[in-house]
């Protein structure tokens, strides 16, 4: 059941990202493995939108370590578990909750023994910025636990996410799945020494091809690409129609996301989540109404013309 829910949402998110992002470029190191147990260790600039982007563009199902406070309500916890999220508790969420991390690490070791992949955001904090913050010990600790459990083939893949913008859409994204390393090659003499060596190597890996900038204007310039005149002409009419059809839906949820996430890093994630859930429902309702008015074929055309023209608008804006 869990796998089915994960794949269903992955398909939906993949289609939604085609509209929400004008372009996504993914680079895999040529030696990337998919059969060994793995930790994907990434930077974390854009809240849980980062996890969606990585999951959609990685060919194998991924498990995620997520903030434990998101699992407070049982029904929400059940849904998040179905999406392959695993709670990890921080001191800020209450010292009494830290003991629950023992169960989390036990689950992770079990998954590694099944050659599964777990995504960790190694900075341990999310801030909308184009640089890498100092890494916490969590990734190194999990790797060491795996080695102590006899999992000698655990691969660590440093990964980075690069966004053209955090607040503007459609945005461009560059993902680099960089060269892996095996944690077993690092010394195990002392835990603290292992953590330092591990984080040094992981930092170097995440920084590889990471686009660093101080301002959005600088990052936008790095992502700039010029469209041909023919492309602009071909996209102009459907893009304009896409704007007319979809603008009211988009700006309604944009204002809602801005209000709900003011002074936080969750804007992009909440906006994408709202559109992912409610946009298909709204379009379906419009198509049904059109069907009653103009017939079956009009309903089908309406249902597909909304997202297709929205995609054209996204590409025109690129």
Q: How confident is the model at residue 136 (pLDDT cuts 50, 70, 90)?
A: very high
Q: What is the pLDDT of residues 174-188, one digit of tens each?
A: 999 999 999 887 766
| 3 vs 178: which has the higher pLDDT | 178
β-bridge mates for residue 118, sequence order: 39, 63
> Which spans in 21-176 are helix H?
49-57, 74-82, 101-113, 138-148
| 82 vs 55: which has the higher pLDDT | 55
| 193 vs 68: which has the higher pLDDT | 193
Q: What is the pLDDT of residues 72-81, one digit of tens each?
A: 777 877 878 8
* 126, two tokens: 């999310």
DSSP letter string over 254-298? HHHHHHHTTTSS-HHHHHHHHHHHHHHHHHHHHHHHHHHHH-HHH
Which residue do the tokens 């920084």 mark?
207
Note the pLDDT of residue 250: 97
Cα 304 to Cα 288: distance, rounded to the nearest angstrom: 12
Note the pLDDT of residue 104: 87
Cα 284 to Cα 290: distance, rounded to the nearest angstrom: 10
Note the pLDDT of residue 206: 98
List C-alpha distances in Å: 196 to 145, 160, 207.
Answer: 15, 20, 16
Positive or negative torsion for Cα 180, 183, 185, 186: positive
Note the pLDDT of residue 89: 78
What homologous superfamily is domain 2-218 in, according to CATH? Glycerol-3-phosphate (1)-acyltransferase (3.40.1130.10)
Note the pLDDT of residue 273: 94
Note the pLDDT of residue 232: 85
Average pLDDT, the chain: 90
| 205 vs 3: which has the higher pLDDT | 205
Task: Please determine, for residue 264, whether its predicted confidence score (pLDDT) is greater than 80.
Answer: yes
Give the start-to-end residue ranges of the domains of the chain: 2-218, 226-317
Q: How confident is the model at residue 1 (pLDDT cuts 50, 70, 90)?
A: low
How large is the average pLDDT for residues 44-56?
A: 94
What is the value of pTM for the model shown?
0.91
Positive or negative torsion for Cα 305, 306, 309, 314: negative
Q: Where are the strands (E) in 216-261, listed by range? A: none
Phi and psi at residue 84, to the nearest 5°: 70, 30
Note the pLDDT of residue 302: 97
Note the pLDDT of residue 249: 97
């Amino acid at each position: 059941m869990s796998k089915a829910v994960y794949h269903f949402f992955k398909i939906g998110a993949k289609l939604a990202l085609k509209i929400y992002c004008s372009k996504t470029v993914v680079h895999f190191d040529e030696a990337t493995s998919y059969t060994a147990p793995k930790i994907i260790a990434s930077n974390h600039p854009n809240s849980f939108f980062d996890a969606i982007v990585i999951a959609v563009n990685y060919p194998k199902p991924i498990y995620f370590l997520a903030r434990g406070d998101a699992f407070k309500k049982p029904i929400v916890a059940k849904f998040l578990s179905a999406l392959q999220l695993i709670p990890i508790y921080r001191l800020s969420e209450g010292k009494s909750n830290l003991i629950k991390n023992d169960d989390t690490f036990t689950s992770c070791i079990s998954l590694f023994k099944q050659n599964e992949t777990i995504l960790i955001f190694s900075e341990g904090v999310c801030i909308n910025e184009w640089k890498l913050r100092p890494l916490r010990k969590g990734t190194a600790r999990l790797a060491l636990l795996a080695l102590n459990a006899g999992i000698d083939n655990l691969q660590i893949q440093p990964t980075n996410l690069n966004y053209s913008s955090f607040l503007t859409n459609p945005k461009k994204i560059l993902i680099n799945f960089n060269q892996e390393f095996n944690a077993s090659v690092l010394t195990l003499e002392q835990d603290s020494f292992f953590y330092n060596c591990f984080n040094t190597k992981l930092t170097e890996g995440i920084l590889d091809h990471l686009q660093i900038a101080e301002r959005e204007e600088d990052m936008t310039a790095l992502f700039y690409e010029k469209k041909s005149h023919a492309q602009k002409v071909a996209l102009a009419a459907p893009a304009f129609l896409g704007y007319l059809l979809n603008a009211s839906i988009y700006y309604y949820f944009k204002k809602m996301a801005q209000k709900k996430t003011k002074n936080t890093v969750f804007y992009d994630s909440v906006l994408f989540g709202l559109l992912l859930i409610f946009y298909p429902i709204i379009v379906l309702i419009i198509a049904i109404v059109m069907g009653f008015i103009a017939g079956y074929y009009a309903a089908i055309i309406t249902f597909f013309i909304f997202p297709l023209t929205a995609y054209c608008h996204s590409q025109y804006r690129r």
